[in-house]
Chain A
Amino acid sequence: DQQVKQNSPSLSVQEGRISILNCDYTNSMFDYFLWYKKYPAEGPTFLISISSIKDKNEDGRFTVFLNKSAKHLSLHIVPSQPGDSAVYFCAASDVDSSYKLIFGSGTRLLVRP
């Protein structure tokens, strides 16, 4: 049973346009959500996070939106750049889990020049 789901395995967007990556979760106990970026044969690198007490967090070109009632979060990248091409994972955790992360299956983003 996947507690964190990324239903789109891939996404292709034009450079300069907005990239929207989606993530759904089922565990209502999750209270912290993170997005990671991963290149092939490398470990994930942290991008942005959001606490369940917020509905939006912005950092430069990256914005994460959280809809608790829908158990849905999304990552917006605007404007998208070719260097953003990578696999993006969303992850979730709860305060009682001692920092353990549950990951989605990832979405491969391709930004076309």
Chain B
Amino acid sequence: GAVVSQHPSRVICKSGTSVKIECRSLDFQATTMFWYRQFPKQSLMLMATSNEGSKATYEQGVEKDKFLINHASLTLSTLTVTSAHPEDSSFYICSARDPTGAWNEKLFFGSGTQLSVL
């Protein structure tokens, strides 16, 4: 079946550094990808919608200059957390939509990235 690959699975960085997370669709071309964030014991919160070839659409309250999203190809979207701070520590998950089928069954999630900022 379709697979979405997300890397790295875990990253520890120093405060002030930038971290890039990659999300790849392996079996299909994803015109739309989504980035979520999850705090412990809380729900997945949508951060932004990434559209191939155009600017990402950010949800209210998400700083676009802080969380840079690039969707340069139909199989790759990246999320860069710039100048990371401890409060950015969280579990980040991407999802990608396979446009060839019913969307509810064609939305696949990556395995997530646990970011820890020291």
Contact = CB atoms under 8 A, between A and B. Distances in A.
Given A4-B43, A46-B104, A105-B41, A41 B111 contact: yes
Given A41-B111, A43-B95, A98-B49, A105 B105 contact: no
A30 B4 CA distance: 26
Interface residues of A, number: 23
A79 to B, nearest CB: 24
Nearest to B114: A41
Interface string B76-118: 0000000000000000010101000001110111111010000
Interface in A35-89: 36, 41-46, 49, 89
A9 interface: yes
A100 interface: yes
Contact of A100 (B43, B49, B104): B49
Interface of B is mostly: strand
B98 to A, nearest CB: 11
A39 B102 CA distance: 24
A103 B44 contact: yes
B43 A42 contact: no
B19 interface: no
Given A43-B6, A49-B104, A101 B46 contact: yes
B54 interface: no
Pairs of residues from A and B, 4 with the lowest C-beta to C-beta distance, nearest first = A43-B109, A103-B43, A105-B43, A49-B104
17 contacts: A2-B43, A41-B9, A41-B111, A41-B112, A41-B114, A43-B112, A44-B44, A45-B109, A49-B105, A98-B32, A98-B49, A99-B97, A100-B34, A103-B45, A105-B41, A105-B43, A106-B41
Interface of B: 4, 6, 9, 32, 34, 36, 41-46, 49, 93, 95, 97, 103-105, 107-112, 114
